A = this chain, B = another copy of it.
Amino acid sequence: MELRALHPGAAYFYYPRPLCVVGVRDEAKGTSNFVPVAWATPLSSRPPLYGVCLSPKTYSHGLLVKAGEFTLSFLDFQDAPVVAKLGQLSGRNVDKVATLGLELAEGETIATPYLSRAYAAAECKLVERRSFGDQTLFVGEVLRVVAREGVFSEEGVLDLGRVSPVLYLGANRYLTVDRESQQLLGPEHS
């Protein structure tokens, strides 16, 4: 499905804090590697920065240091089995894209693709990396955000009638949101 560009700052593409799939080019193998990352967070609005944690032991860590850029792909809950498989396979041994038959979409501001099935994706240029304990925080400047037509409201809020984001509960457990539970609790409503 065709994705359209959004101003990075105009949509809360990272809520309700779904699992993101980080894409990194693997130049040596002429492919890209995709790995689900649960430890990730927006870090700044202006400039828009997004941080993702990877262990130095992971294959993606080395790739990201070399590539200097990455993408974020956010998937619908129907793709949770794909997300799980991306976490179980290692790009060291297999080409996940070929093995899982994933379709990719080309980035526009960077050379790294994202997953075509994403309901939203972001193109990030690595601007800093920083060790914290046993992980590295990779900080990317969000250069471009794309999303399926109509999945974000005018306010930039995800329309849960159209998308059920993948959440992670730990220990290989995946789930999604209860869209009926949504409450508007603004100053004028509470």
Contact = CB atoms under 8 A, between A and B. Distances in A.
Nearest to A84: B185
B183 A173 contact: yes
- 5 nearest A-B residue pairs (beta carbon): A44-B133, A12-B170, A84-B185, A17-B17, A172-B186
Interface string A176-189: 11110111111101
Interface of A: 12, 15-17, 38-49, 51, 53, 77, 80-81, 83-85, 88, 128, 130, 132-135, 137, 139, 155-158, 160, 164, 167-179, 181-187, 189-190
Contact of A157 (B81, B158, B171): B171
Contacts of A172: 184-187, 189
Given A17-B167, A46-B133, A49-B133, 19 more contacts: A17-B168, A40-B41, A41-B51, A43-B133, A43-B135, A45-B133, A46-B134, A80-B185, A84-B185, A84-B186, A156-B171, A157-B169, A157-B170, A164-B181, A167-B167, A167-B177, A169-B182, A175-B181, A177-B177
B43 A84 contact: no
A138 to B, nearest CB: 12
B157 A16 contact: no
A15 B169 contact: yes
A48 B133 CA distance: 8
Contacts of A155: 170-171
